[in-house]
Amino acid sequence: MAGTFLKREFWPRFRRNRLAVSGLVLVAGLFLVSLLAPVLAPYDPNYIDIQAILMPPSSAHLMGTDSLGRDVFSRIIYGARISLKVGFVAVGLATLIGVLIGAVAGYYGGWVDNLLMRLVDLMLCFPTFFLILAVIAILEPSIWNIMVIIGLTGWMGVARLVRAEFLTLKEREFVQAARALGASDRRIIFRHLLPNALAPVMVSATLGVAGAILTESALSFLGLGVQPPTPSWGNILTAGKDNIEIAWWLSVFPGLAILVTVMGYNLLGEGIREAIDPRLKE
Amino acid sequence: MLHHLINRLLLLIPMLLGITLISFSVIHLAPGSPTDLQTMMNPKVSLEAQKRLRELYGLDKPLHVQYLNWLTRVVRLDLGRSFAPDGRPVWDKIKERLPVTISINLLAMLLILAVAIPIGVIAATHPHSWFDRGTTLFVFLGFAMPGFWLALLVMMFFGVYLDWLPLSGLTSLFFERLSFWEKVQDLARHLVLPVLVSAFGGLAGMSRYMRGNMLEVIRQDYVTTARAKGLPERTVIFKHAMRNALLPVVTILGLSVPGLIGGSVIFESIFAIPGMGQLFYSAVMSRDYPLVMGALVIGAVLTLIGNLLADISYALVDPRLRVG
């Protein structure tokens, strides 16, 4: 059934939406760039050339070089890998936690629901960036820690979403039928309810990737994310700030890469949302 | 109304408890004891600092005792002493930075409201016009634009290229020697970029939100009624429609508080503004645990207060709640 929905309804609607398709193209492009980074990058991203320090963009260095003479274009290409990884791992974790908590809260209701939703309210009280920074202050900043922390602080939206879906779904006949047939709670949750609630989760996950990439780049920019020499768009921008009066290219290109990528995920997410349920379109 | 308020205030107690509980568990996230493992391997933390940390959290006692001890101190705003060489109480350090951060965020909020509401209203009353399309593009850009990148760009353009505005800090070096009006002017020149940049993200979201609200309200029966009885379009839009579309904006404004406070870390460290964000950032960089924990709790409490204020103002502006 899901297959025919995708082919008959989802895809034709998605394809007609020009913005959604451009989002898909941008995201697919990011995948390709990270996959083909060694082929696409003209230089080793960590190759230091002290004879080419802070060179403006030229035919040899398309996006110029940084204060160690490293090729910015190559570093941005390799930086795409970090963004891709952060997006997937952080949002994967957040979605997993959010789905579990939302499903349990929505399905069981009562005090369980009350307790879990108060936890959501509490977590939303913290300025997320403060919470992330506090944890990083205690653990060491590393790409893995960052992905996990972004995931652990980003599940509340999904939990609310899944809970709301479950609250309406669990009253439907097919759930009652499953229960009458003696299906266990676990089976009802995972086999009957969850598949029907997946669409909005997918939308929020896609939009969540955009948010995770923004957070990672901000952390790396502050020096608390991906540590040099590993290139990430955020930590190239740190160099941009340090050389703001002399090297515009260090600030402009990595930021553009973030902007385009985040926009791609946002457009894709909105596109999926509208293709799943055309009524949502304003 | 009073009942509603009392309810809200009572709800604050478990929330505050929860906030402290989560903050408390953060410090215990470190593998092993936070003093032993993390600090012994961290050359930035001296032996003396380790001792102070152990004293502050009473780490040799059982967990629930540790939490209760810490809580009773937090309630009295005793957040311990900073690890920095000056060793001042954490609350004193935060206290002197708070006004800066709060004022910048309030200014940013005002800017968001002043710009986003007209944009939303005009876009909604002229759907599919060039203005609507233009602002939609702006909104998409706003959602995807990293705030710190925008900060760099405006610094580069207005600060370096045009050389109109100062790049960093809150005041000029010669601030003390200026007359009152010159001081105001100097401060304003320093504030333009930070306020602009911190408002930008919220601007996109709020104008989108306002547009959606307006579109919704315009379809309501009472708006049709207002038009049918021949009221001028201006009155219909600004009196009947806009007032109702504005209601939920109050709530959204309250919800944007954590984002603004979190964002202050980035903007204050970029523009070198001596606010709470910058304090927090330097505390994280130097592993000043008591200061980090203190700022975390205060940040969450600020959010709580922001939400409460939004709730109260909602009750004040919505006649259904005011009377009921």
C-alpha to C-alpha distance for B89 and B91, rounded to whole angstroms: 6
Neighbours of A205 (CB within 10 A): 23
Is A137 in contact with B14 (Cβ distance < 8 A)?
A: no
Whether the bond into A229 is cis, omega within 30 of 0:
yes
Contacts of A119 in chain B (CB under 8 A): 18
Q: How many CB pairs under 8 A join A and B?
A: 145
C-alpha to C-alpha distance for A5 and A12, rounded to whole angstroms: 10
A186: Cβ–Cβ under 8 A, 6 or more apart, which residues?
none
pLDDT of residue B43: 55
Q: Report the amino acid identity of residue A142.
A: S
The residue to which tokens 């891709």 are assigned: A84
Which of A 89-118 lie inside 8 A of B, CB atoms? 118
Contacts of A126 in chain B (CB under 8 A): 19, 22, 258, 296, 299-300, 303
List the single residue in B29, B266, B296 with the smallest CB-CB distance to A139: B29
C-alpha to C-alpha distance for B317 and A146, rounded to whole angstroms: 42
B259 touches chain A (CB under 8 A): yes
Q: For B171-223, what is each residue's pLDDT tens digit?
A: 777 777 778 888 888 888 888 889 999 888 888 888 988 888 888 888 888 88
Is A126 in contact with B153 (Cβ distance < 8 A)?
A: no
Contacts of B284 in chain A (CB under 8 A): 133-134, 136-137, 224
Q: Is A252 left (phi over 0), alpha (psi -120 to 50) or beta?
A: alpha
Percent of chain B with pLDDT over 90: 12
pLDDT of residue A29: 93
Which residue, among A274, A215, A218, has the nearest Cα to A241 in the 3D structure? A218
Q: Is A17 left (phi over 0), alpha (psi -120 to 50) or beta?
A: beta
Q: Long-range contacts of range A62-68, CB-CB < 8 Å, 24 or more positions apart?
A: A63/A249, A63/A253, A64/A247, A64/A249, A64/A250, A64/A253, A66/A236, A66/A239, A66/A247, A66/A250, A67/A239, A67/A242, A67/A243, A67/A247
Q: Which two structure tokens, joined as six digits, stand for A126? A: 């913290």
List the single residue in A127, A217, A260 with the smallest CB-CB distance to B258: A127
The residue to which tokens 């040099």 are assigned: A228
Closest-CA residue of A relative to B257 is A127
Where does the pLDDT of residue B308 fall: very low under 50, low under 70, confident under 90, or very high at 90 and above? confident
Contacts of A244 in chain B (CB under 8 A): 152, 155-156, 159-160, 167
Q: For A218-243, what is each residue's pLDDT tens digit?
A: 999 998 888 888 889 998 998 888 88
Q: Is A182 left (phi over 0), alpha (psi -120 to 50) or beta?
A: left
pLDDT of residue B107: 93
Q: Report the amino acid identity of residue B26.
A: V
C-alpha to C-alpha distance for B167 and B273, rounded to whole angstroms: 10
Tell me what ipTM this predicted complex has: 0.84
Which residue, among B80, B95, B61, B88, has the nearest Cα to B23 in the 3D structure? B80
pTM for this model (two decimals):
0.87
pLDDT of residue B112: 92
The three-class DSSP label of residue B89 is strand
Where does the pLDDT of residue B255 fall: very low under 50, low under 70, confident under 90, or very high at 90 and above? confident
Which residue, among A26, A39, A20, A55, has the nearest Cα to A247 in the 3D structure? A55
Backbone angles phi, psi at A72, to 5 degrees: -65, -40
pLDDT of A112 above 60: yes
C-alpha to C-alpha distance for B153 and A256, rounded to whole angstroms: 11
Percent of chain A with pLDDT over 70: 97
Q: For B48-70, what is each residue's pLDDT tens digit?
A: 666 666 666 666 677 778 788 88
C-alpha to C-alpha distance for B266 and B184, rounded to whole angstroms: 25
DSSP state of B176: G
B157 touches chain A (CB under 8 A): no
Q: For B137-151, what is each residue's pLDDT tens digit?
A: 888 888 888 988 999
Which residue, among A1, A19, A84, A64, has the nearest Cα to A274 in the 3D structure? A19
A86: Cβ–Cβ under 8 A, 6 or more apart, which residues?
A143, A146, A147, A150, A212, A213, A216
Is B29 in contact with A222 (Cβ distance < 8 A)?
A: no
Q: Report the amino acid identity of residue B212.
A: G
pLDDT of residue B306: 86
Which residue, among A93, A87, A89, A110, has the nearest Cα to A163 in the 3D structure? A110
